């Protein structure tokens, strides 16, 4: 009886094991079929993507609104691809505009600024970007604005998008948090003051976005929030995403962080070893706003500075800027070899604790355009040091270039030794005292920034003179004396340019150069005074 009992138990166990194996085999078969179906759909999607990309590369299939697939392209599509396109058509919640908006959503860099003209579709892009990892439970996103009313606008837009993109997504009104089916979250918050960042102390996020970054006067909030980015899930990459319009209280530091290190759309590595990129936005990027022209007309009616910022996406002008007419694209040119016979002059603003600035320019005799082709910008130089540095910079020129020097460099301040002006002249530099009329100097720069009859600026600056360009772009008006610039700002290169222009540099006319004219001579062949 014992043996029979043991046999019965063993037999039942054997049958149960076989049954379990068969069930596992059935399950494996189902999984293989599902895998085969997914692989086939993936293959079909890749095929469709290749066809669409080929059509995109065809210039004849592009329009202002984006990609258009002509009927000829659609007709040659495989049946499976056509079926897939029809199935997916109704499921599209958001389709990015071709261009900067698409580039922003596809950017692999850790820290990206999408900024420029108003109406480029930046806010919608900010709402869509954090969705890339919403299928992963550990994904935690934080989207910030300056104030609650501004935040409400983003929340209303998210209510239109998120439930359609993720069925089952729920918004908790009190906490201002979206909870997605996977367990991932997106939190809306606001930062009215720098100290508000401490609300997020001890928190960790995988994605942080700040809409309208230039509303913040300092870089501190962004730097602090950057330290909140961390995750243990290797499938998630941590990102910072920001949008901004030019100008605002934080325009200068935003420009310095994102625009100055590299050209637009070029990736670079910051001092903190984080990869960054600036993607410019234009009104034309958004066909829904630019098509009827009403929004553009509204932006065109703004004051000159705001018009350049919001319509043109110009980062080179700021509120209160003294020279709003300065346009980098018009007034700055690539360096080239200047003819040796063109008249050369220089203006010098001396400083020891502050920077010494030397600006070299030449006159194009065809239309008297002043071309600034070289700059020296350095602090801690004595008179002897400056004399040597100037000669080093003038190696390319045949002779020492005549120039004007700040009158303060000629003044004696209780010392018995030679002044800086005397040191420079004794070293061999041909200098005279500068005309320091501040108001007239500023007016003359305004005149030089105008275009001549041929549409050429009367002042052009080589792009190899970054300090002069920076000061002309950013130097503000004196709030107490609107006809002058604010002397508290960085103005050393500006002063050197002002001295140079006030020296009235001019080229001799062909009439003056005629040999038969011998009775009359200009008072000075270089300067007009």
Q: What is the arithmetic mean of pLDDT over 98-106?
A: 85
Is pLDDT at 211 greater than 70 in this prediction?
yes
* Residue for token pair 């820290």: 111
pLDDT band at 515 (very low <50, low <70, confident <90, very high): very low
Tokens linked to 132 = 């890339």
**Residue 62, Cβ density class (10 Å: 0-12 exposed, 13-18 middle, ≥19 buried):** middle
Q: What is the pLDDT of residue 125?
A: 87
Q: What is the arithmetic mean of pLDDT over 301-307?
A: 61
In the predicted model, what is the mean pLDDT of the chain? Answer: 81
**More reliable by pLDDT, 92 or 24:** 24
**More reliable by pLDDT, 413 or 338:** 338
Q: How far apart are the C-alpha atoms of 332 and 282, rounded to whole Å?
A: 21
Of 80-89, 210-219, 258-267, 415-424, the least confident? 80-89
Q: What is the arithmetic mean of pLDDT over 272-283?
A: 87
Is pLDDT at 304 greater than 80 in this prediction?
no
Q: Determine what percent of the chain is predicted with pLDDT higher than 70.
A: 76
Of 22-26, 60-64, 122-126, 501-505, the least confident? 60-64
Q: What is the pLDDT of residue 512?
A: 46
Ordered by where they begin, the domains of the chain are 2-55+76-89 (no CATH), 100-299 (3.40.50.300), 329-512 (3.30.420.280)
Return the exposure string of 287-310: e unless at least 16 CB atoms fall within 10 Å of the residue's CB, then b. Answer: eebbeeeebbeebeeeeebbbbbb
pLDDT in tens, 306-347: 666 555 666 766 666 788 888 888 899 999 999 988 889 999
Q: How many CB atoms lie within 10 A of CB 455?
A: 7
Q: What is the pLDDT of residue 516?
A: 41
Please state, in angstroms and as integers, the Cα–Cα distance from residue 57 to each residue in 48, 84, 329, following that order.
Answer: 14, 22, 29
Q: What is the arithmetic mean of pLDDT over 167-191?
A: 93
Strands 185-190 and 177-179: antiparallel
Q: What is the arithmetic mean of pLDDT over 247-269?
A: 86
Run of H or E residues at 210: strand 207-210
pLDDT in tens, 161-171: 898 888 889 99
Q: What is the pLDDT of residue 36?
A: 84
Report residue 469: phi and psi, to 5°. -60, -45
Q: Is the pTM of this model over 0.95?
A: no
pLDDT band at 13 (very low <50, low <70, confident <90, very high): confident
Q: Determine what percent of the chain is predicted with pLDDT higher than 90.
A: 36
Q: How many CB atoms lie within 10 A of CB 135?
A: 14
Contact 425, 350 (CB under 8 A): no
pLDDT in tens, 433-480: 999 999 999 999 999 999 998 899 999 999 999 899 988 887 888 878
Long-range contacts of 6-12 (CB under 8 A, 24+ apart): none
Contact 243, 212 (CB under 8 A): yes
């Amino acid at each position: 009886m014992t043996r029979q009992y043991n046999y019965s138990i063993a037999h039942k166990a054997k049958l149960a094991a076989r049954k379990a194996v068969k069930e596992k085999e059935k399950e494996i078969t189902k999984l293989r079929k599902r895998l085969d179906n997914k692989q086939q759909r993936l293959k079909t999607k890749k095929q469709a993507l290749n066809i669409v990309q080929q059509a995109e590369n065809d210039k004849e299939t592009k329009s202002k609104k984006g990609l258009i697939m002509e009927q000829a392209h659609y007709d040659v599509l495989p049946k499976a691809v056509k079926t897939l396109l029809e199935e997916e058509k109704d499921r599209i919640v958001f389709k990015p505009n071709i261009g900067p908006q698409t580039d922003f959503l596809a950017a692999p860099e850790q820290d990206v600024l999408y900024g420029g003209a108003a109406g480029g579709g930046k806010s919608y892009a900010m709402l869509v970007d954090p969705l890339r990892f919403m299928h992963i439970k550990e994904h935690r996103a934080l989207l910030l604005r300056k104030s609650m009313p501004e935040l409400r606008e983003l929340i209303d837009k998210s209510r239109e998008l998120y439930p359609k993109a993720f069925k089952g997504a729920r918004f908790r009104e009190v906490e201002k948090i979206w909870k997605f089916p996977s367990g991932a979250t997106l939190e809306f918050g606001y930062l009215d003051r720098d100290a508000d960042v401490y609300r997020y102390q001890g928190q960790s996020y995988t994605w942080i976005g700040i809409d309208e970054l230039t509303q913040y006067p300092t870089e501190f909030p962004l730097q602090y929030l950057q330290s909140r980015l961390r995750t243990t899930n290797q499938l998630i990459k941590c990102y910072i995403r920001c949008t901004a319009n030019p100008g605002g209280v934080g325009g200068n530091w935003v420009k310095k962080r994102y625009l100055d290190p590299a050209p637009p759309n070029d990736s670079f590595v910051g001092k903190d070893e984080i990869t960054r990129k600036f993607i410019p936005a234009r009104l034309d990027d958004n066909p829904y706003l630019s098509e009827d022209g009403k929004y553009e007309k509204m932006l065109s009616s703004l004051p000159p500075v705001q018009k350049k910022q919001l319509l043109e996406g110009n980062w080179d002008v700021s509120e209160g800027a003294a020279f709003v007419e300065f346009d980098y694209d018009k007034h700055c040119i690539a360096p080239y070899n200047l003819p040796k016979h063109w008249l050369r002059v220089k203006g010098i603003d001396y400083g020891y604790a502050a920077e010494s600035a030397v600006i070299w320019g030449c006159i194009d005799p065809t239309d008297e355009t002043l071309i600034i082709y070289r700059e020296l910008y350095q602090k801690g130089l004595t008179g002897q040091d400056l004399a040597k540095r100037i000669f080093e910079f003038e190696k390319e020129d045949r002779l020492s270039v005549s120039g004007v020097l700040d009158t303060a460099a000629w003044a004696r301040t209780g010392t018995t030794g030679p002044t800086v002006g005397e040191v420079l002249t004794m070293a061999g530099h041909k200098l005279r005292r500068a005309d320091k009329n501040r108001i007239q100097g500023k007016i003359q720069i305004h005149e030089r920034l105008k275009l001549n009859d041929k549409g050429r600026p009367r002042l052009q600056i080589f792009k190899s003179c970054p300090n002069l360009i920076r000061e002309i772009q950013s130097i503000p008006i004196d709030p107490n004396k609107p006809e002058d610039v604010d002397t508290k700002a960085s103005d050393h290169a500006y002063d050197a340019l002002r001295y140079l222009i006030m020296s009235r540099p001019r080229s001799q006319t062909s009439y003056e150069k005629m040999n038969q004219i011998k009775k009359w001579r200009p008072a000075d062949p270089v300067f007009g005074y």
